Chains A and B, each alone.
Chain A
Amino acid sequence: MTDNSQNRAFRLEDLWSGPMRIVLVLGLIVAVFAIMRFDTFASFANVRNIGMAGAILLVMAVGATFVLITGGVDLSVGAVLVFSGVIAAKVMGAMGSDGWEVAAIGLLAAMAAGTAWGILNGLLVAKAKVPALVVTLGTMGAAQGLSWIIAGEDLRDVPYVLGDTVGVGSIGGIPVLVIIAIAITLLGGLMLQLTRFGRHTFAIGSNPLAAREMGINVDWHLVRVYGLAGLLAGIAGILSLARYGSTTIGGHATDNLQVIAAVVIGGTSLFGGRGSVFTTAVGVLIPATLASGLIMVGLNTFWRDVAVGVVLVAAVYLDQAGRRLTR
């Protein structure tokens, strides 16, 4: 009755038209730089640097992937990262010691602060029916402003152990930050692909009315999705503290756009219903790889912004073209 699509012969165009396209793009970028500057670009130290540069963005991008798949958007992640870092630094500073227990409390504080902003975003989007763009623009400003008000200036109350192990440490040569980001990506990816939570996320983005008519609690699910994005921004906040040893309040103004760009370059649809956490990871790596490679071949790093812009528009164009084909 149905043809067996799994048994269909492998075709090259499937590879190019499918979600794996972006992996090929990354492979191409890597190949070009590797050929031009093999010893430096393909060195372990450089790969490590690229990973470090992308790790914190990737943690936020995992949450943003869920949000975009519901058809929403979250502009507040960078500000929530900063706010969570400020709260964690305040809490850890008040405890005043340098041990692991302080770091653990700081992590919990950052997670709670991030989740609270996320839930607020979700409630405003789902219950108050304010467009996500406006809600998260508002909470972005509020979280950023409150961060300055609470902190006054950049705080540096980061326990030594946190910076030493999570911030710059590595296990078997792999930076701990990268290991954490990979673990969160795997968890997020499996959650999206395998669980009912993930299935409802896709369903709501694909057709919110249908999801409602079929008995899915759409409002509550949206609150949880934005809450998850906030939680991950909170975790990113403590990771950022660990890495920079400071709350870097002024340093995350464009995180939100970098995160959204990474998710969209990774093939997740801005219109909801389609996407993958794993290709988001590739979407994070592309700008990081371009930045590193362009320096090595002696080009101005601003070319990275140009190249990322081109890739971003191309990714959305291909998503649109794909939709026209199937509808």
Chain B
Amino acid sequence: MQMIATTDTQQPLLEARQVWKRFGSIEALRGANFAIGRGEVVALMGDNGAGKSTLVKTLCGLYAPSEGEVRFDGRAVQLSSPKDAQALGMETVYQDLALAPDLDAAANMFLGREVLRGGLAGRLGILDKPQMRRRTVEALTTMKVALKSIDAPIATLSGGQRQSIAVVRAVTWADKLVVMDEPTAALGVAQSAAVLDLIRRVKESGRSVILISHNVPDVMAVADRVEVLRHGRRTARFDRADMSMENIVAAITGALVNEPQA
């Protein structure tokens, strides 16, 4: 049984300590631990029902933990809504992407955060469309995302391009951490590769990424570390050296445990 040295010598950016989450008599999380450092890409893996979604929703403020604590930047935090998590610099890319298909890229980028013009026009609620378009083009350029058309409704774009808009939007508003829930699940090979590239660029920008995925090759391609959940608690951690298809699959199925179990 190998011991894992934390790749980050500093304290983690976001950490779950002994988190329990109960829904009635069901224990979705049973003392789960999780940690991610600054600029790290950590894949959160596990079988269906292992507690990945519950853990992530707890980290994002959608659920309050029944027991245990969530720490951000070394301080215990009480997140009572996704807004609290956003205020800390965390954004989530939902599996449904949370995009409006009839609106263009800029409108989606600024959905719920529309920029108004200055002065009287702004008080009348008039949008500053040129500014939002310009900032959207900048953000897409920074992340090297090419769209067929920036002014077309995003329904006319490919699945990969829509996914990219959702990721770029999250990155634009998240100073510190982006959570991605199965970002490649609905995509073809080339489109998945583009999204993985995007994850690397998010990392290069100094932000951290929590990647929830079932896809072992994708995870091996971009993750710095893997944390595996099983039956509501973390059972294994791998850094790059130990990340292999065999280890990961063994950990997910329960054949391999490298974490001291209480």
Contact = CB atoms under 8 A, between A and B. Distances in A.
Interface of A: 1-3, 5-6, 194-197, 199, 202-203, 205-207, 209-211, 213-216, 273-274, 323, 326-327
Contacts, number: 89
B155 A327 contact: yes
A210 B97 contact: yes
Interface string B116-157: 100000001111010000000100110001111111110110
B149 A3 contact: yes
Interface stretch (B8-16, B99-107, B251-259): B99-107
A210 B96 contact: yes
Interface in B77-107: 82-83, 94, 96-103, 107
Interface in B142-178: 145-153, 155-156
B102 A274 contact: yes
Contact of A211 (B101, B112, B137, B156): B112
Given A199-B103, A207-B100, A209-B96, 10 more contacts: A1-B146, A1-B147, A195-B124, A196-B125, A202-B102, A206-B103, A207-B98, A213-B82, A215-B83, A273-B103
Contacts of B153: 326
Interface of B is mostly: loop
B146 A2 contact: yes
Contact of A196 (B96, B100, B116): B116
Contacts of B83: 215
B239 interface: no
Contacts of B151: 5-6
B101 A195 contact: no
A205 B152 CA distance: 17
Interface residues of B, number: 36
Contacts of A216: 111-112
B217 to A, nearest CB: 28
B126 A194 contact: yes
Given A3-B149, A216-B111, A326-B153, A211 B127 contact: no
B149 A5 contact: yes
A213 B94 contact: yes
Nearest to A273: B102
Contacts of A1: 137, 140-141, 145-147
A193 to B, nearest CB: 9
A196 B113 contact: no
Contacts of A323: 155
Contacts of A206: 100-103
Given A5-B151, A327-B155, A195 B100 contact: no
Given A5-B152, A196-B125, A211 B100 contact: yes
B182 interface: no
Contacts of A202: 100, 102-103, 107
B114 interface: yes
18 contacts: A1-B140, A2-B148, A5-B151, A194-B127, A195-B126, A196-B116, A196-B127, A199-B114, A199-B127, A202-B100, A203-B107, A210-B97, A210-B100, A210-B111, A213-B82, A213-B94, A273-B103, A326-B155
A324 to B, nearest CB: 11
Contacts of B99: 207, 210
In this complex, the member of A5, A203, A274 whose beta carbon has the largest number of chain B beta carbons within 10 angstroms is A203
A15 B193 CA distance: 37
A220 B258 CA distance: 50
